[in-house]
Amino acid sequence: MSNKDYNVYQGADGLWRGKRQNADRSAVVSTTQREAIQQTRALVQKTKGELSVHRADNGRVREKWSYGNDPKNIKG
């Protein structure tokens, strides 16, 4: 992962956070997962990075989106 990549996860306080990889503070804080994803997705699209959404119950990656850093010559 690079510094362009973001993670959306639920913090210990129950709030959903969007945080850039290796950052000290969250860029997005929201009460709902949907809102956190939408706001963080806008940031990721500007930087052309990846967005990983983590599950609240076990922290595993539930979904992952990539914006702009995919190789152009892959079929499928």
| Tokens read off for 64 | 């992952």
Confidence label for 68 from pLDDT (cuts 50, 70 and 90): confident
Cβ neighbors of 3 (< 8 A, separation 6 or more) are 20, 21, 22
Which of the pair, 27 or 70, is modelled with greater confidence? Answer: 27
Domain residue ranges of the chain, discontinuous segments joined by +: 6-64
For residue 3, the model assigns a pLDDT of 75
Q: State pTM to two decimals.
A: 0.84
DSSP, collapsed to helix, strand or coil, labels residue 26 as coil
